[in-house]
Amino acid sequence: MSRKLGVGFIGSGFNAKFHMQGWRAVRDADIRGVWSPSAANAAAAAAYARELDVGDAKPFTSIAAMVADPNIDAIWITGPNHARIENIEEIVDVLARGRGKLVGLACEKPLARNVAEAKRVRDLAARAELKTGYLENQVFAPQVELGRALLWARGAAATGRPYLARAAEEHSGPHMPWFWRGALQGGGVLNDMMCHSALVVRHLLTQPGAPLATVRPKRVTAHIASLKWTRPAYAKQLRARMGKAVDYAKAPAEDFASLMIEFETDDGHTVIGEATTSWSFVGPGLRLSAELLGPEYSMTWNTLESGLKLFFSREVRGAQGEDLVEKQNAELGLMPVVANEAAAYGYEAEDRHFVRAFLGRETPRLTFDDGLEVVRILMAAYMSAEQRKTLPFPPKGLDAFVPAVAKGSWTP
């Protein structure tokens, strides 16, 4: 393709806006459309893209209309998990009727709510012969990429491969009600955020240039809990904030999860990945962190160690917001500032890569096959947590498994 890639967005929420911010570092594509179930939200998101000068985006009244538009060459799916299959089915149907000419389809994490749905998503894209991109921003974070490259090039080359990786994503809870509802989202914090950390530890333990398949999961041990949001006072607070459909006194989801993955490598080593996620972390805001350890070296990453801090005394008064860091929890005191969150969290590099991949200039680093593999690990983790034991990977019955949290039958 000689011209710029024309991209349409399904979804108009905070995730879509992070991608739009990241688009300021993308040279080879323009955002030309947005569809949302809410016409007002679609119009607002399209206006936001135009304000950022990342494309002459316009709102569309349907996915079909956006796919059929000759100015749209690829779709970025950033909408809710429970709409994933429905959205992709509409895309594929339009293409099957010859009313669009897409080259690529990129989808936010997780690829689906369970293995059966993830396979459906992958197969639909394959049927339409689309290039695919699994949108996992944290493996594209600059500090993760540079730290991994340097440790493998210097430390591992001199003293042997790394053997332990840790990753965590922690904040005080999602923005929108559907995230909190197990049936819609597919679970709780494990499904929502462990998809990041489980892939990051595997990525760190994989030699740059080698496929993820060279580091294979063999055993999985997981634990889930509700540490904060089922306490009566907080369940009441959550219901008041998110609406009556989010009632953690009756239908809770986990707000904490831990996962240990034992991997087997192609060069005959056993290596370990440790991951934790939380909706019950109360600090300045979103905290992403990672570590990689080897025989004579280590690396650490923490987004709240940003290098920029502001202090506001108690005399400073202002409205609540997220102008310093995502999921900001305070406006007073000593506050870290993440100056460019879209770059720090990996959105810029991620979007730049997948645009180039869809243009045929790079090989996609993560496809829907990789997204399916992540879902398989997440579902194995739920199985381990429910059975309270370590499981071999893949465990029996994985393809048909639906977590108790997603079925509304989980009791903390």
Tell whether the model's pLDDT for residue 3 goes beyond 90: no
Q: String of b and e for 289-321 (b: at least 16 CB within 10 Å)?
A: bbbbbbeebebebebbebeeeeeeeeeeeeeee
Tell me the pLDDT tens digit for each residue of 320-366: 888 888 888 888 888 999 999 999 999 999 999 999 999 999 999 99
* Alpha-carbon distances, residue 269 vs 45, 161, 212, 377 (angstroms): 48, 9, 15, 20
Extract the runs of DSSP E, i.e. beta strands, from 226-332.
256-265, 270-278, 287-294, 297-302, 309-312
Tell whether the model's pLDDT for residue 126 goes beyond 70: yes
Tell me the pLDDT tens digit for each residue of 19-34: 999 999 999 999 999 9
Tell me what percent of the residues of the chain surpass a pLDDT of 90: 92
Q: Which amino acid is at 147?
A: G
Taking residue 98's Cβ as centre, other Cβ atoms within 10 Å add up to 8
Tell me the pLDDT tens digit for each residue of 286-299: 999 999 999 999 99
